Amino acid sequence: MKKGSRILVTGGAGMIGSNLVARLISMGHEVTVIDNLWRGSIDNLKYTCKENFEKVNVIIADLSVPGDWYLAFKEIDCVYHLADIVAGIGYVFSNEGYLFRKNLLINSLVTQVVASFDIKRYIYVGTACSFPKELQTGVDAAPLKEADQFPASPESAYGWSKLMGELDATYLAKEKNMETVVLSLHNVYGTPCDYKSPKSQVIPSLINRAVFTKNKKISVWGDGSQGRAFIHVSDVVEGLISALSRGGNSGAIQLGPNICTSIAEIAETICDIVDESIVIEYDTTKPTGDHGRRADYTKAKQVLGWEPKMDLKNGLTDIVSYVKKNGEGI
CB atoms within 10 A of CB 22: 21
Question: Running DSSP on this structure, what letter comes out for residue 33?
Answer: E
CB atoms within 10 A of CB 325: 8
pLDDT value of residue 236? 98
- 125 DSSP β-pair partners: 183
Q: At residue 290, does pLDDT exceed 80?
A: no
Q: Which long-range contacts (CB under 8 A, 24 or more apart) does 275-278 make?
A: 275/210, 275/216, 277/216, 278/210, 278/213, 278/216, 278/217, 278/218
Q: At residue 299, does pLDDT exceed 80?
A: yes
Whole-number Å distance between alpha carbons of 65 and 38: 14
pLDDT value of residue 197? 76
Pairing state between β 179-185 and 121-127: parallel
Share of the chain above pLDDT 70, in %: 100
Give yes or no for a contact between 49 and 18, defined as CB atoms under 8 angstroms apart: yes
- Domains of the chain, earliest start first: 6-192+229-260+293-310 (3.40.50.720)
Q: At residue 302, does pLDDT exceed 90?
A: yes
pLDDT in tens, 39-65: 899 999 999 999 999 999 999 999 999
pLDDT value of residue 26? 97
Backbone angles phi, psi at 257, to 5 degrees: -80, 165
Give yes or no for a contact between 200 and 268, defined as CB atoms under 8 angstroms apart: no
Q: Residue 177: helix, strand or coil by DSSP? A: coil
Closest CA to 225 of 136, 312, 155: 136
Q: At residue 114, does pLDDT exceed 80?
A: yes
Whole-number Å distance between alpha carbons of 15 and 239: 15
Rounded mean pLDDT, 281-296: 88
pLDDT value of residue 89? 82
Per-residue confidence band for 272, with pLDDT thresholds at 50, 70 and 90: very high
pLDDT value of residue 330? 63
Give yes or no for a contact between 249 and 295, defined as CB atoms under 8 angstroms apart: no
Rounded mean pLDDT, 164-183: 95
Angle at 129 between CA 195 and CA 161, to 5 degrees: 100
Rounded mean pLDDT, 18-42: 97
Q: At residue 199, does pLDDT exceed 80?
A: no
Rounded mean pLDDT, 112-134: 96
